[in-house]
Structure 1
Amino acid sequence: MTRSVLRYTPHRIVQHPDTDVTFEAECLHCQWKAQPSEDGGAVDIECMTHTARSNHRGFRRTCTSFAMVVREE
């Protein structure tokens, strides 16, 4: 019979330190897209401006970040 020793090391997921969060949005009614930005408020303002010009009210918003798994210290 073979014996095994199991060791568990706790991990956590963190945002990659060399990257920022990027916000994006696209209209659900046409091909319009907001300029990607690190400022989510700026993207929201672009969406509201598009709504004022086109009366399109639906948007897909995405928030992209890069993560890495590290061992707990």
Structure 2
Amino acid sequence: MSRSVLRYVRHRITQHPDTDVTFEAECLHCKWQAQPSTDTAAVDVECMSHTGRSNHRGFRRICTSFAMVVRDE
């Protein structure tokens, strides 16, 4: 009979240090899309400008980040 030793290691998930969070938006009424940016306020301003030009008021906002799992030491 063989013996096994089990060792449990705690992990955590964190944002990848070499990447930024990217914000995007797209209109729910037409094919308009905001320029992706690392500045959420810039994307929001683009959405408000689009609303002013088109009266479209619904947007899908997307926040993309890259993550990695590391040992929790």
TM normalised by structure 2 equals 0.95
Report the secondary structure of 2:63's partner residue.
strand
- Hey, which bits of structure 1, 4+ residues long, moved more than 6 A? none
Q: Which residue of 2 aligns with 1:55?
A: 55
Task: Determine what percentage of the aligned residue pairs are the same residue.
Answer: 81
Give the unaligned 5+ runs of structure 2. Answer: none
Cα RMSD after superposing both structures: 0.8
Report the secondary structure of 2:46's partner residue.
helix
Give the unaligned 5+ runs of structure 1. Answer: none
Matched residue count: 73
Report the secondary structure of 1:30's partner residue.
coil
Q: Which residue of 1 aligns with 2:26?
A: 26
TM normalised by structure 1 equals 0.95
Q: How far apart are 1:2 and its partner, in Å?
A: 4.1
* Residue type at the aligned position of 2:45: I
